[in-house]
Amino acid sequence: MIIFNHSHRFRHCVLYSVLAGAMLVSQPAAAVESMDDPMLPQLSAPVSRFKEFTNRASEVALQAMSMIGIRYKMGGNSPETGLDCSGLVRHVFKQAWGTVLPRTAEEISRAGEQVDRHELRPGDLVFFNTLRRSFSHVGIYLGNNKFIHSPSAGGQVRIEDMDVAYWKARFNGARRINEPESSN
């Protein structure tokens, strides 16, 4: 049995807020595509890639947000029984993109490509030293220095600010997982 401290209305408001934010981000790209400008051929490929990334990152963010309130369980792999930090990340990427990631935060820290903190985008993975060893905790970056994670025993999946002193001091790095190419 899953117990949620958050009402369904709250969860829906959060999901709609993320979706609205993603739509706002993608509007400038749509506006650029509709301009009658001689630079358009040079801009269209980067704009198209940006829109595609935004849409894919939104899938990851929305899937992650749907997990808010799921209880923490050490070694947990499913929302029904509880999730640990890497279980959350694995579940979200499997549901959003069909991507299977390694089991532990440390193993996941070697997947994808390294990203500098100032280059973080929604959907990137953020890693922290919470057990006196590097890459012992992982979460999913949502934007505006916020990330979602499954914290620890007694906790639930929640959103936190990376600028809080605890997280800022323990930040280890970030990775970007690229969605597998479509076979179509």
Catalytic residue among 6, 8, 118, 149: 149
Catalytic residue among 6, 91, 118, 137: 137
Catalytic residue among 8, 85, 91, 118: 85
Query: Which long-range contacts does 92-97 make (Cβ < 8 Å, 24+ apart)?
Result: 92/60, 92/63, 92/64, 92/67, 92/140, 93/60, 93/177, 95/63, 96/56, 96/59, 96/60, 96/62, 96/63, 97/56, 97/59, 97/60, 97/179, 97/180
Examine the residue annotation and report whether 85 is marked as an active-site residue of this protein: yes
Catalytic machinery residues: 85, 137, 149
